[in-house]
Amino acid sequence: MKTLDTTTPRSDTDIAKLFRAIADPTRLRIMCTLLEKRDLCVGELANEVGISTPGVSQHLKLLELHGLATPIRIGQRTCYKPHFDNPSARVLFDCIKTLKEE
């Protein structure tokens, strides 16, 4: 899967797509769970957010595409963690954290 280039300045369209990626309440809940727990496998995330494993997988693929989540292979399982190496993602994560604490 090709992810967005995070090394060059983003266009207005790219920024809008990034915000749309977390605009969905389920994806936002998944992202908040990853930020809180740091890394979880797909099945664990499904239990945490209360939706099916395939549903979580689809949301995670979109979060990965936008550079917000990073997959980690552990044996046959795929786990995800927040993509802290992406500067745009870090800013977004800080915003989410601040808004959740208010």
Please give the chain's pLDDT, 102 residues, in tens: 555 555 555 788 888 888 898 899 999 999 999 999 988 999 999 999 999 999 999 999 999 999 999 999 989 899 999 999 988 888 889 988 888 887
* 55 Cβ neighbours under 8 A, 6+ residues apart: 26, 46
Nearest to 65 by CA among 28, 25, 9, 18: 18
Q: Is residue 77 situated within a structural domain?
A: yes
CATH code, 24: 1.10.10.10
pLDDT given for residue 5 in this prediction:
57
Q: Is residue 60 situated within a structural domain?
A: yes
Question: What is the distance between the alpha carbons of residues 15 and 4, in angstroms, rounded to a whole number?
Answer: 11
Q: Is residue 61 situated within a structural domain?
A: yes
Q: Is residue 2 situated within a structural domain?
A: no
Taken in order 85, 62, 49, 19, is the CA torsion positive or negative? positive
